[in-house]
Amino acid sequence: MQIRSASVTSSYAAQGANRSQKTESASSASVANGGAGVSAYDFSSMSPAQMRNTVNDLIRSGKMTLDESGGLLGMMSPPASRWAGSGGPSAEESDRLDNQPFDAFATLRAGITGAQSRGDDRNVEALGKTLDALLRLQGTTASVDIRA
């Protein structure tokens, strides 16, 4: 898939509107199923630790490719690898950062917007691929508790 800079802004702006609609409907579905022993993927509120486990499971199961997961690497890396400055975070700070939920959709959209403003077509394409994969999986069944 090749994206040219002239079409990038318009295609991702138009697709972004559709993406937010998909996110809203998928989020409603995951809330509706949440109490019935069925858990669904919700990338709008997932911690980096949860994201690492989820993405690893998705790749192992073939539901997501390594290429699609590339845009999530910085978001789901352990806090010590993201720490700027000397040393690293304390154990408490590291645990807090690793378990604090974030909205992957908003983060990816902000990344796409930034890449577009810099004319970084390769990054726009990579982040768009990741966003499309998460939207495809949002609200789908992650697991079923048959004891519920």
3-state secondary structure of 116: helix
pTM: 0.71
The C-alpha angle 70, 72, 73, rounded to 5 degrees, equals 75
Residues of the chain with pLDDT under 70: 1-36, 79-86, 148
For 22-45, write each residue's pLDDT tens digit: 433 333 333 334 456 889 999 999
Give the pLDDT of residue 21: 40
Do 140 and 32 form a contact (C-beta atoms < 8 A)? no
Using CA atoms, how far apart are residues 122 and 116, in angstroms rounded to an integer?
Answer: 10
pLDDT above 90 coverage of the chain, percent: 54
Give the pLDDT of residue 33: 47
Residue 85 DSSP label: S
